[in-house]
Structure 1
Amino acid sequence: MKPTWIFDLDDTLHHASVAVFPHINRMMTEFIMRHLGINEESATALRQHYWREYGATLKGLQRHHGITPQAFLQDTHPMAELEALLVWQAQTAALLRRLPGRKILLSNGPQHYVEGVLRKMRVRRHFAGVYGVERLDLQPKPHPQSFRTVLRREGLDPAHCIMVEDSLPNLKAAKRLGMRTVWLSRSARRPAYVDVRVRQLRELLRLGLH
């Protein structure tokens, strides 16, 4: 049986840390400054604290400040600006086409951003399902419920799924649910909950997992 590949988006399919993440972080900081009436230093510290505490800045803003998700997600992920900042490997589309099995995209980003990035990369057609944070009931990874939502809606058995991620907490959560795990990293170490570590996505074609 061919596996179902569940891919992360940011820093997995494209290099978000180069320019996209810094821009989103600036937009989040500005949003917090406007809506909470605090200075840049305090807003930056709060953004980082909520990201560490909840896995997503939005969760902290919802819980402690009553911020509505839609306004935050739209304001902080302006695709007209972010598209120009995208950096990805030209062979990504060919890799996804050649990789046997169904593909699902699972991201903590908002749906309009996830769809926009995939379209810009011209890889949207390779994914049978695409899940931004709204489709996860605003429950971001690594919360187990985010994975369970995808498994339930797609009718998937976790034992037949392979999670491809750059984030160790997300892989740890996927492994606990019974998935196989692939860590995209240049690190020399490999935690016990990581089945395979790859330096580049193209290595997926020769792993033998499928």
Structure 2
Amino acid sequence: MAGEAASVPVWVFDLDNTLYPASSRLFDQVDARMGAFVQDALGIADRDEARRIQKQYLREHGTTLRGLMDRHGVDPDAFMAYVHDIDLSPLAPDPALDAALSALAGRKLIFTNGPEAHASAVLHRLGIARHFEALVDFAATGHRPKPDRRAYTALIERHGVAPERAVFLDDMPRNLAPAAELGMTTVWVENDSRWARLDHTGEEPFIHHRTRDLVGWLQRRTRAA
């Protein structure tokens, strides 16, 4: 079964700000709730100081949560439940994306630093949940977030992914680096959000393709196949 799975293309999609536009501002809600969680969990009176720590942990640990776990023993489930308790009403079914995914041959996986419940809710709001055979979330990788290389190897091993047959799409360039090192083709789904360009220098050799139009890129890929 694993050998059979490895013989077909695998499309590995990030979720937030990749499968839906960053202009929906969903992650702004998550970001604000992260700051509030940090402030409360660490007993910080100043909101700006809490936000500074939040972003420091993001840079140093891959995610704010990983930093909170490593430095303060924060319960990941409590954090995830709190910060993803957001309004999904900005999302609506996306028929064009649904059609593009239908036409795309191969297996399809979600690879997210968020929780499975949030990913499932987003996919159902977009009307595309049926396309994905599995959701690989923060818990499934042993609470190792992208861009921790161990998160990618966990995905590869758990789902029988042959890296040379896989395409990984994400909105954050730094998350593409380990995928490229492991042999995956990478696609940067660009947007103008402030966190999307974290550590981006403009000269990264690990970005193989880039697009601001995910649906258009998938359609062109399908036509070229």
Indicate whether the TM-score tops 0.5: yes
Residue type of the partner of 2:221? L
Q: Secondary structure at the match of 1:136?
A: coil
Q: Secondary structure at the match of 1:182?
A: strand
Give the equivalent residue in structure 2 for 1:128: 133
Q: Secondary structure at the match of 2:56?
A: helix
Give the equivalent residue in structure 1 for 2:21: 15
Distance across 1 between alignment mates of 2:124 and 2:184: 27
Give the equivalent residue in structure 1 for 2:205: 192
Distance across 1 between alignment mates of 2:191 and 2:28: 21
Aligned residues: 207
Identity of aligned residues (%): 32
Give the equivalent residue in structure 1 for 2:82: 75
Distance across 2 between alignment mates of 1:101 and 1:88: 22
> Which deviates more from structure 2 when the two are superposed, residues 86-95 or residues 7-16?
86-95
TM-score by length of 1: 0.90
Give the equivalent residue in structure 1 for 2:152: 147
Q: Secondary structure at the match of 2:180?
A: helix
Q: Is the counterpart of residue 92 in structure 1 residue 71 in structure 2? A: no
Return 5+ residue gaps in structure 1 as ranges: none
Q: Secondary structure at the match of 2:15?
A: coil
The verdict on how the C-alpha distance between 1:186 and 1:201 changes in structure 2, with shifts beyond 3 A counting, is same
1:142-163, CA deviations, whole angstroms, 9 ceiling, x for partnerless residues? 1111111111111111111111
Is the Cα–Cα contact under 8 Å of residues 16 and 86 in structure 1 kept in the other structure? no
TM-score by length of 2: 0.85
CA RMSD of aligned residues (A): 2.0
**1:179 maps to which of 179, 184, 187:** 184
Is the Cα–Cα contact under 8 Å of residues 18 and 169 in structure 2 kept in the other structure? yes
Runs of 4+ in 1 over 4 A off after TM superposition: 87-90
Is the Cα–Cα contact under 8 Å of residues 188 and 210 in structure 2 kept in the other structure? yes
Give the equivalent residue in structure 2 for 1:53: 60
Counterparts of residues 109-124 of structure 1 (less than 5 Å): 109-124=114-129
Is the Cα–Cα contact under 8 Å of residues 4 and 161 in structure 1 kept in the other structure? yes
Return 5+ residue gaps in structure 2 as ranges: 1-6, 193-201
1:150-199, CA deviations, whole angstroms, 9 ceiling, x for partnerless residues? 11111111111111122111111100001111222279x67322222223
Distance across 2 between alignment mates of 1:129 and 1:2: 16
Distance across 2 between alignment mates of 1:82 and 1:16: 15
Give the equivalent residue in structure 2 for 1:207: 221
CA displacement at 1:89 relative to structure 2: 4.8
Give the equivalent residue in structure 2 for 1:28: 34
CA displacement at 1:112 relative to structure 2: 1.2
**1:62 maps to which of 56, 69, 76:** 69
CA displacement at 1:51 relative to structure 2: 0.8
